[in-house]
Structure 1
């Protein structure tokens, strides 16, 4: 398959994960990543970056397990390697707590994280407004470090990086044999997919080195995630909101909610505030485009489009898993078109 050219559109955690997977596994393929914005200006950079996943009834559980396990195992190896500080990947232990006992006390990923167990009554005394909790060790991935590290890994595998705005995927058909769309919210226009909606998230980074354990409310709105540099607290989940400005009302609400779970935060200093738009979709889209109009014929060959976007607030959690699935789709596409290529 010498001379085959693949382009990945999108420089967030999904885009770079996908580009690395392709470049490292298809050594005879030329891989280029195009992005309008790179770290530290991507949505991924502000993500809390801790591996959690909610059950999605529209995705087979085995597929969700495969995505989660692939990401967890990949990041765990990094967390336990000499690259951990540079890559911004660390093991993180703590608690997920619920105001009401959930129907599913042991989620599908409970055996994939480390040391999962139900919290004891004695442990729950600390959270008097909550009735149920889970304790376990997961992984925190700080994308402001992880993305530059992934880019270095991609370049070492022979990948090429170009800062460029893409307005139409078909514009790339003359230069590449396979187009992989990891443009997140940009897929509203690039893939004509209006089901991708922004979900506004605001977080704060706090100086609180005494905090060592994460706390996450089961509703996903209130969380405290200690990291390598600072503690990320949040958050907001405002669907259809394109506002990228830091709102003081949200800041006050975040501080109030998080301080009720961890009173010592009232003594912490705010290091920074951040707002990003999560690319939300009912289900992540990881598939080969089936619509005839995007299968562009150039010189007697077909250009395939593989999509990998719509991860919402679980981009870091599922990035490597869906990247590996996208890699499989690229492989199948190249095998199918081998005679033409």
Structure 2
């Protein structure tokens, strides 16, 4: 019996999450991940990995809630298992603080994290430049551990990996039945999507083991996230900036801003500096279409899952499950002989 061939393009947290979901749910299909970069060289590897999101403007909040809930529940199960150290997933408690009271004091994800509440006046005295805050427990997923763990899980499910560059999605159409595009920033070229743009992020890894609670400024640009082996401090959100080099001025700004929130950081030791280009888009693209091959006579089902910006880790499992649903639609519509 001929197996249906699925190709997932991209091996960041979106690509590998999607590949695992497909390989485990569709054992009669052969799933192959094709990418030019795997861990530790993906954008996801340097992500802070905290499960928090801002609301996207044009996606129903019910769908965003489901994406976040599915991702949170998936990672929470790992955090509460013996796989947590290998996967780099941990529970983390802390607060998000604001210089101005936000329009939504209680965000749509408040019931999905653990123990959400508003900060008291006494607690806010720690942050004299801020007037409002939220406290809760969420998850931190460190992709330098999580991506290799996902790849191992993918291979165990029968998945295959190809390390090569894809310059045109039509290259794949002759050898597979369905293409799943998780190419992140490269989707601008591969999918012709002019809505995709780089968002430069710079972070530092600091040795400061006495810091055990996260602090995040509500603007999303200043944060302190304790992890398994170090504290991630950041950051930048520079839209349209394609620089991969570490900017010393940005590092100085990060340490200064974070030091105002947590003065003891001055005693920490900077272990590493990192820059990554997030795949920015007004809304993530999780939808299907048909890819016309050269000559126009043959069309291959194409499912997109990219454009998550800084919310890749936080939405990865939820959008992977949505992608599975779209792939199942494609399989259902394929002629019977193509499925046998």
What band does the TM-score fall into relative to the shorter chain?
over 0.9
Q: What residue number does 1:303 align with?
A: 300
The 10-residue stretch of structure 1 (301-310 or 325-334) with the greater mean CA deviation from structure 2: 301-310
Q: Residues 39-54 of structure 1 correspond to what in structure 2 (within 5 A)?
A: 39-54=39-54
Per-residue Cα deviation, 1:66-124 (whole angstroms, up to 9, x for no partner)? 00000000000000000000000000100000001111011110000000000111111
Q: What residue number does 2:201 align with?
A: 201
Q: What residue number does 1:175 align with?
A: 175
Is the CA contact 1:244–1:275 (under 8 Å) kept in the aligned structure 2?
yes
Supply the RMSD in Å over aligned alpha carbons. Answer: 1.4
Q: Residues 244-283 of structure 1 correspond to what in structure 2 (within 5 A)?
A: 244-283=244-283
Is the CA contact 2:202–2:274 (under 8 Å) kept in the aligned structure 1?
yes
Mind listing any 5+ residue stretches in structure 2 that lack a counterpart? none
- Relative to 1, partners in 2 of residues 1:337 and 1:239: Cα closer, same or farther, differing over 3 Å? same
Q: What residue number does 2:145 align with?
A: 145
Mind listing any 5+ residue stretches in structure 1 that lack a counterpart? none
- Relative to 1, partners in 2 of residues 1:337 and 1:301: Cα closer, same or farther, differing over 3 Å? farther
Using the TM superposition, give the Cα deviation of residue 338 of structure 1 relative to its aligned residue in structure 2, in angstroms: 3.8
Find the aligned partners of 1:230 and 1:223 in 2 and give their Cα distance. 14
Q: Residues 155-234 of structure 1 correspond to what in structure 2 (within 5 A)?
A: 155-234=155-234
Using the TM superposition, give the Cα deviation of residue 303 of structure 1 relative to its aligned residue in structure 2, in angstroms: 1.6
Q: What residue number does 2:85 align with?
A: 85
Per-residue Cα deviation, 1:197-225 (whole angstroms, up to 9, x for no partner)? 00000000000000000000000000000
Using the TM superposition, give the Cα deviation of residue 296 of structure 1 relative to its aligned residue in structure 2, in angstroms: 3.3
Q: What residue number does 1:339 align with?
A: 336
TM-score, with length taken from structure 2: 0.97
Using the TM superposition, give the Cα deviation of residue 57 of structure 1 relative to its aligned residue in structure 2, in angstroms: 2.1
Is the CA contact 2:292–2:298 (under 8 Å) kept in the aligned structure 1?
no
SS at match of 1:289: strand
Using the TM superposition, give the Cα deviation of residue 56 of structure 1 relative to its aligned residue in structure 2, in angstroms: 1.5
Is the CA contact 1:297–1:303 (under 8 Å) kept in the aligned structure 2?
no
Using the TM superposition, give the Cα deviation of residue 297 of structure 1 relative to its aligned residue in structure 2, in angstroms: 8.4
Find the aligned partners of 1:101 and 1:128 in 2 and give their Cα distance. 14
Q: What residue number does 2:237 align with?
A: 237
Using the TM superposition, give the Cα deviation of residue 194 of structure 1 relative to its aligned residue in structure 2, in angstroms: 1.6
Q: What residue number does 2:315 align with?
A: 318
Find the aligned partners of 1:72 and 1:2 in 2 and give their Cα distance. 36
- Runs of 4+ more than 3 Å apart: 295-298
Q: What residue number does 1:289 align with?
A: 289
